[in-house]
A and B are shown apart, each in its own frame.
With several copies, the nearest count.
Chain A
């Protein structure tokens, strides 16, 4: 798979984690592909943490870039039945457990289900934005990312970069497999048959527990 295929493959698998009616917050990049792979009978409500419940695709007709933007500052739109809310209500909603799932990328994740994705000290100065709140508040935290970066594992025993949030991840989806975070550690529940279990473990610094119900990823 080339990188574009990898991203689609991951997004497609993440889509299966979402249920009809779920309120979902999507991070930038790969996560934004997820809605493309939802079954026809699954309708989710996309939340943008800067104040939109129910975002819609931007068209020439609904575009209003001065008054409606997404969490990346790009033009957005509101779907029928949606609502605009202010930041304190939006993050109350997020922290209060009213967002069913957040899907986001990661620089590093670890055996405790902690995530680092907001800063590389000395290198960039981005800011955490709403990510720390989303990780703490969303009912399900789905990390959607490539399994390795330039051949180096991103699933570590312990994150080396500053945490975005600790013990927050529900599930990790990569092109190699699906990993659930449990009290026992990271459990590989699905694998991509293009890889052997050994290859997946070799690409992972953390120790993977192999689920007794291990299935191929579809």
Chain B
């Protein structure tokens, strides 16, 4: 059952070298307060699974937005992502300095790999990436022909931690996402040993109708109250 903790307590759960999934798409739907605290914590050698590396300039004038803070502070050893082009520091650290390992995965495959990791499936059979260098990806386990069409078999993906962000989270840990912030948060909440969810607003049980819960509280281990995000 979800335990409500301070952001400092939540960050203290993360050891150096941990693998962490971060929800969010270019910072939209990321756990900004947690990430900010983590970026100041000195935790290092992280393996990060995230759609992207966000970007330096945020929409509210932030110098670094979302996990771009962790990139900038060189806390990430390995980044598994679908797109890193809007954060030039990734290319610097990976291609020039060689201090950051980057594995690129198609976005739809990444969503399915995480879903498979969280739902006990053995892998993903997707037509995406057939005939491309994705076939040489470390997560690509082979190619199979089913009913005359070729598919790549891609491995499930799990992590030690998932750090997700919801708009409303109730006292039972049920999460409701605003706008299109749900993106990777929903699948990531199912695919990690420990799930930390940051709320903009903590609400009473009943304020999210049971039909409108998008991440059930049983998936959430810790809730951090982040407050309404305003940069």
Given A73-B27, A95-B121, A163-B131, output 14 extra A-B contacts at Cβ < 8 Å: A23-B218, A45-B218, A51-B183, A69-B26, A81-B217, A84-B211, A86-B187, A91-B107, A92-B119, A92-B120, A95-B120, A128-B83, A133-B128, A165-B129
From 109 to 157 in chain B, residues with beta carbon under 8 angstroms from any chain A beta carbon are 109, 111-112, 114-115, 117-121, 126-134
> B interface, by DSSP: helix, strand, loop or mixed?
loop
Q: Are A125 and B59 in contact (CB under 8 A)?
A: no
Chain B minimum-CB-distance residue to A133? B108
Interface centre among B54, B134, B171, B185 (most CB of A within 10 A): B134
**With a CB–CB cut-off of 8 A, which chain B residues contact A93?**
119, 190, 216, 218-219
CB closest chain-B residue, reference A116: B132
- Asked whether any CB of chain A lies closer than 8 Å to the CB of B86, the reply is yes
Q: Is A68 an interface residue (CB 8 A)?
A: yes
CB distance from B186 to the nearest CB of A (A): 4
- CB-CB under 8 A from B15, the residues of chain A are none
In the complex, which residues 129-145 of chain A have their Cβ closer than 8 Å to any Cβ of chain B? Answer: 129-133, 136-137
How many residues of chain B get a CB closer than 8 Å to chain A's CBs? 76
A interface residues (Cβ-Cβ under 8 A, vs B): 21, 23, 45, 48-53, 64-69, 72-73, 75-76, 78, 80-88, 90-98, 114, 122, 124-133, 136-137, 162-167
Mask, B2-28, CB within 8 Å of A = 1, is 000000000000000000000001111
A86 touches B131 (CB 8 A): no
With beta carbons under 8 angstroms apart, the residue of B106, B117, B230 that contacts A128 is B106
Determine whether the beta carbon of A96 is less than 8 Å from that of B119: yes
CB pair A132 B129 closer than 8 Å = yes
B37 close to A (CB within 8 Å):
no
Q: Distance (Å) between the CB of A153 and the closest chain B CB? A: 22
Which A residues are in CB contact (< 8 Å) with B52?
73, 127, 129
19 contacts between A and B (CB under 8 A): A50-B25, A50-B26, A78-B210, A80-B206, A85-B216, A87-B51, A87-B184, A88-B111, A93-B190, A93-B218, A94-B120, A95-B126, A125-B95, A126-B85, A130-B106, A130-B107, A132-B106, A132-B129, A166-B132
